[in-house]
Structure 1
């Protein structure tokens, strides 16, 4: 009986902590009809009552919602992206009308104009009123709807920060319009563009032309990523592009990577503490998340300081450690290393000794800290 109960718990527990998917029908004044949407709320959304979440709005929600929602849940579980609210708009019977643009000026018209206003003025307002949304918003689409999402980018103050273009069926002037909008952007923007070697030829030509323009773009506020997936068709590229888009757009949220460590932190011209501070300030400013600095990121900075011998950086690092991990040995260790390497061995010895009674963390425990103090005492005869 106990064994059966244990098996049941092991099977059910993951389901209890999984992300929630809700289904809603929204009445739209702009469209004069109702629309079905799917909403995935993050794990533990109900428990984290003070937390707000970025929003990813997914067009073609009939088939794009599930792969997007699954990837967001997976990446956020491993802290490679923030937890987010994913919203899919079902369009199986209306996508051509929804994304309609006029042939004269290639701008949304008729039902397309109404759908444009429905998303921006009604759906997002509904989400903001009902759920704990943050200001950071991303929109995604595929072929015809991927062209449509970029019309928001052309507005003076775009309501979306990120644009995931999955093999877009671009309107004739859209490449120039996107490039001009991003060139002039005075706020941070993210644009992801994907095609495949086996994509629809007429779409692929327009996508490659757009990439040529965006690759030459010079605006530090714009993060742009392009992928051309080998042997990927118009439909199979979606499964590869969604995780690639999330990795590109939320790179600042991820733990410090080997690339950042090798190319930035090991450069003596870069302050590793400033890098760490800027990283977490960006997470707060962009996503509205007051995130505690990861222990792994502290260790990456510690290793970089030891490699570059920028001992002064230990002072700022100890201050951050005291703030983020109070009561532990982390801040004490960094402070002691600072004193030890800047010509104050007696103060370093006493600082190591101060760790007695503090909580152990990472590789730091009482034996290690007291051994460091004893080594200094022996070397200098204190």
Structure 2
């Protein structure tokens, strides 16, 4: 059964990749003094005349990492657990060593490594931003040597990428100091995902675990950090495990409120749960430039928390928010009526339930249900 499920998942990922638009280009680089092959996957249905813009993933070691990332991104975005994105892979099958060359004195890019650093920041990304519709949320992905390399962009005063997926990094010695220092000082939101495997060579695993310990100790509200150690994976299979975990963590804010988020965060809030909901969707707007309609699932989660914690005064702002996002439905009126009913204004509650009769049913809230609630109030109070 487990094997069947695995094959089905691989089939779905493969099918999704067929649906997405993948193309290969030869990119002439003046910084490198040569051509490089890049792969680009555009979101499903991407056309030149639409207005929607997308985050960008830059995948080093694109000769083998591209499909892993592209398939997962397409799959997660299909189920709306993350935004659709533009995926750019750089093939390095014959050039990885030279591309990742760093100085033994300071662990920073040197010679061909410095040229490759400039190629990405000064040529490739400007080309993508000029020719495709992008938002200012960029994700860098690397494995082994390239996982070390992508951190160099983090060392800039304004990091080039907003998110880093660092899998089994072959860290240059001084990067153990540079990375935590930079992450402790970031002044804008940075997502950092680190992973290693059980079969990574001893020195590599020790360095990644030392890095994990140092990053875990950082107290910076702008840093969102997560770590996984895949003890049963090999060094080369680690990315297949790491990428979906990374996407889950990086794009958590984009996803519907989960049972865990509801239990561990929302029920324990010291602020208004409605404010929590508004801030969640404002973060989606700020990070990904997406004006996302609040999901019915999320309205229901907040309403459940209000009811469970008996914070009935918050039904009023929740009702107003529901009217804004679903103006033709019963949702807003239902929450407002609950507010009046629970705060001692039964007549207002009754009238609000009754006025909802002309609106559309939604989320299990039916016209019959609200009329029954109105009739119950009328019978109890003799209106």
Q: Considering the TM-score relative to the shorter chain, is it more than 0.5?
A: yes
User: Is 2:103 the counterpart of 1:102?
Assistant: yes
Per-residue deviation, 1:16: 11
Question: What are the within-5 Å matches in structure 2 for residues 232-311 of structure 1?
Answer: 232-267=233-268, 269-311=270-312
Runs of 5+ consecutive residues of structure 1 not aligned to the other structure: 1-10
Long gaps (5+) in structure 2: 1-11
State the partner residue of 1:8: none
Residues 78-157 of structure 1 correspond to what in structure 2 (within 5 A)?
78-157=79-158
* Superposed structure 1 runs of 4+ greater than 6 Å apart: 14-17
What is the aligned partner in structure 2 of residue 171 from structure 1? 172
Mapped partners of 1:300, 1:249: distance in 2: 21
Measure the CA separation in 2 of the matches of 1:46 and 1:364: 38
**Contact 1:264 1:270 (C-alpha < 8 Å) held by counterparts:** no
For 1:43, the equivalent position in structure 2 comes to: 44
2:9 is matched with which residue?
A: none
Q: Is the 8 A contact 1:17 1:43 kept in 2?
A: no
Note if contact 2:139-2:164 (Cα within 8 Å) is conserved in structure 1: yes
Partner of 1:344: 345
Query: Can you list the C-alpha shifts for 1:97-139, whole angstroms capped at 9, x where unaligned?
Result: 1111122222111111111011001111011011110001110
The normalised TM-score by structure 1 is: 0.94
Q: CA RMSD in A?
A: 1.6
Q: State how many pairs are aligned.
A: 370
TM-score (ref. length: structure 2): 0.94
Taking the aligned partners of 2:70 and 2:350, their CA distance within structure 1 comes to: 52
| Cα offset, 1:264, TM superposition | 2.2
**Partner Cα separation in structure 1 for residue 269 and residue 62 of structure 2:** 48
CA–CA distance in 2 between the matches of 1:50 and 1:350? 42
Corresponding residue for residue 377 of structure 1: 378
Given that residues 100 and 113 in structure 2 are in contact (C-alpha distance below 8 angstroms), is that contact kept between their aligned partners in structure 1? Answer: yes
Aligned pairs for 1:3-82 (under 5 A) are 18-46=19-47, 49-82=50-83
Change in Cα spacing, 1:264 to 1:347, as seen in structure 2 (3 Å) is same
Whether the 8 Å CA contact 1:265–1:271 is kept in 2: the answer is no
Contact 2:99 2:116 in 1 (8 A): yes
Secondary structure in 2 aligned to 1:370? helix
Contact 1:268 1:308 in 2 (8 A): no
Which whole-Å CA distance do the structure 2 matches of 1:142 and 1:292 have between them?
36
